[in-house]
Amino acid sequence: MESSPVLPAHIEETVRAIAKLHAEHRRRATPLQRVVEQMTAQMGRPRFVGLLTVLIVFWIGANLALTALHRAPFDWPPFPWLMTISQLLALYLTVLILTTQRREHELVELREQLTLELTITGERKTAKIIELLEEMRRDNPMMADRTDLQADAMSAPSNPESVLDALRTSHEEEAALDGEATSPTTQAE
């Protein structure tokens, strides 16, 4: 019997935190949401495709067999009842998938928020470490005292709002350049 690998404490803590996030997401699901997710999961399996194929083949075969036996089929070709049932099934399947995706999107948003918060926290910790290393270097009599502009810049934590504004400006400038490149007056020149 294989024993599970021993993980460092910080990794185990991270794994537990992620498991807790998923468990909380499942716990908050309403009974109706759980039913919808289960139905979507069942319809997404190859077994469902096989069952659907068998039912359609049976439906068409039974109607053709009844016609061959000179009896009235329950759905004459081109099988309007089968088409109606298929359309209803497609509509419900679409709604089930959209409902499930919307709920899963909530979990994705939570993960993105967590990732963003951890990234900002990590960036601030890194800036503090650089600041402390620079301070230690300046205080060490064995090292030449010099100014490191790059280290000074990196020791200040980023302002998320300033970074966001810079990204927006960059995207707007890029979109404006793309607009100029594809405008009819630019192409005519």
| Residue 171 covered by a domain | yes
| Residue 154 covered by a domain | yes
What is d(CA 176, CA 183) in angstroms, rounded to the nearest whole number? 10
| Residue 136 covered by a domain | yes
| Among 86, 103, 93, CA closest to 27 | 103
Which residue's entry shows tokens 């067999």?
65
| Residue 14 covered by a domain | no
Q: What is the pLDDT of residues 14-67, one digit of tens each?
A: 788 888 888 888 899 999 999 999 999 999 899 999 999 999 999 999 999 999
Q: Which helix (H) or strand (E) holds 155?
A: helix 149-155
| Residue 4 covered by a domain | no
**CB of 97 closer than 8 Å to CB of 40:** yes
Model pTM? 0.57
| Residue 61 covered by a domain | yes
Q: 25 CB contacts (<8 Å, ≥6 apart)?
A: 106, 107, 110
Helix, strand, coil percentages (3-state) for the chain, rounded to 5, are 80, 0, 20
What's the angle, vertex CA 143, arms to CA 141 and CA 149, rounded to 5? 120
Number of domains making up the chain = 1
What percent of the chain has a predicted confidence (pLDDT) above 90? 40
Q: What is the pLDDT of residue 189?
A: 47
Which whole number is the average pLDDT over 80-84?
Answer: 96
- Give the structural domain span for 46: 30-182
| Residue 20 covered by a domain | no
| Residue 79 covered by a domain | yes
